[in-house]
Structure 1
Amino acid sequence: MKFATILQYLNKNPATIIKYFDVRLFVRDNKKWILFVSVCVLIQLYTIVIFPIQSNKYQFNEKTDQKLLDGCRYVYIDMGTNIGIQIRKLYEPQLYANAPVLPLFKEIFGNYSNEVCSVGFEANPLHDSYLKEFQTYCLKRGWRVKIFTSTAVSIKDGNVTFHTEPGNEQNNQWGASLVARPNTANITVPSIDVLSWLKSTVLDRKLSPGFLPPRIMMKSDIEGHDSMVLANLILSGLYCSIDLIYGEHLSPQFQDSVSLFQQYSESCKTKLISMDDESYHTARFSFIIQNSTY
Structure 2
Amino acid sequence: MGEIEDNNMKRTKLVLLPLVGVLYVFVVWSLRLFETVPQRSLKEVQSPMIHVNQDCQFVYLDLGSNKGVQIRKLYEPWLYPGAAIIPFFDKLFGHITKSSRRGNVCSFGFEANPRHMGRLKHIEQSYRRKGLNVTFYNNAVSNRTGEIVTIYSDTNFDIDWGAGILDTAIDNKINMTEYKVLTIDIVHFIRSQIAPLKPKAVFMKIDIEGSEFIVLPHMLQTLTLCKDIITSFVIEMHEWAKKSMGSTLTFDELRTMIRKQGCVPSEIVKVDDESFLHDVIVEPNW
Asked whether the equivalents of residues 245 and 272 of structure 1 are also in contact (C-alpha less than 8 Å), the reply is yes
Equivalent in the alignment of 2:101: 113
Out of 195, 209, 225, which is 1:239 matched to? 225
- What do residues 49-93 of structure 1 show as CA deviations (whole Å, max 9, x unaligned)? xxxxxxxxxxxxxxxxx9515421100000110111000000111
- Tell me: CA distance 1:141–1:259, structure 2 relative to 1, closer, same or farther (3 Å): same
Deviation at 1:188, TM superposition (A): 1.3
CA-based RMSD: 2.3
How big is the shift at 1:265? 5.9
Q: Matched residues, percent identical? A: 30
Which ranges in structure 2 are unaligned for 5 or more consecutive residues? 1-49, 240-247
Instruction: Report the TM-score, using the length of structure 2 for normalisation.
Output: 0.69
Aligned to 2:186: 194
1:26-69: CA deviation from partner (whole Å, max 9, x where unpaired): xxxxxxxxxxxxxxxxxxxxxxxxxxxxxxxxxxxxxxxx9515
Instruction: Kindly indicate whether the alpha-carbon contact (under 8 Å) linking 1:162 and 1:178 is maintained by their aligned counterparts in 2.
Output: yes
Aligned pairs (5 A) from 1:43-62 = none
Determine whether 1:179 maps to 2:166.
yes
What amino acid sits opposite 1:88 in the alignment?
R
Distance 1:121 1:189 in 2: 12
Indicate which of 265, 269, 286 corresponds to 1:269.
265
Q: Is the 8 A contact 1:248 1:275 kept in 2?
A: no
With over 3 angstroms needed to count, the CA separation of the structure-2 counterparts of 1:110 and 1:159, relative to structure 1, is same
Corresponding letter in the other structure for 2:230 = I
**Higher alpha-carbon Rg:** 2
Contact 2:123/2:284 (8 A) holds in 1: no
Cα distance, 1:288–1:238 mapped onto 2, change above 3 Å: closer
Contact 2:259 2:265 in 1 (8 A): no
Aligned partners of 1:148, 1:265: CA distance in 2, in Å?
Answer: 29
In the aligned structure 2, how far is the partner of 1:288 from the partner of 1:179? 31
Letter of the 1:215 counterpart: A
1:289 to 1:275, Cα distance in 2 relative to 1, 3 A:
closer
Q: Deviations over 1:2-46 (max 9, x none)?
A: xxxxxxxxxxxxxxxxxxxxxxxxxxxxxxxxxxxxxxxxxxxxx
Q: Establish whether residue 104 from structure 1 lines up as the match of residue 92 from structure 2.
A: no
Q: Deviations over 1:247-284 (max 9, x none)?
A: 22266953222322344467423112354321001024
Q: How many residues align?
A: 216
Aligned amino acid, residue 111 of structure 2: E
Report SS of the residue matched to 2:250: helix
Unaligned runs of 5+ in 1: 1-65, 208-213
Shift, 1:288, TM fit: 5.9
Query: Is the Cα–Cα contact under 8 Å of residues 67 and 205 in structure 1 kept in the other structure?
Result: no
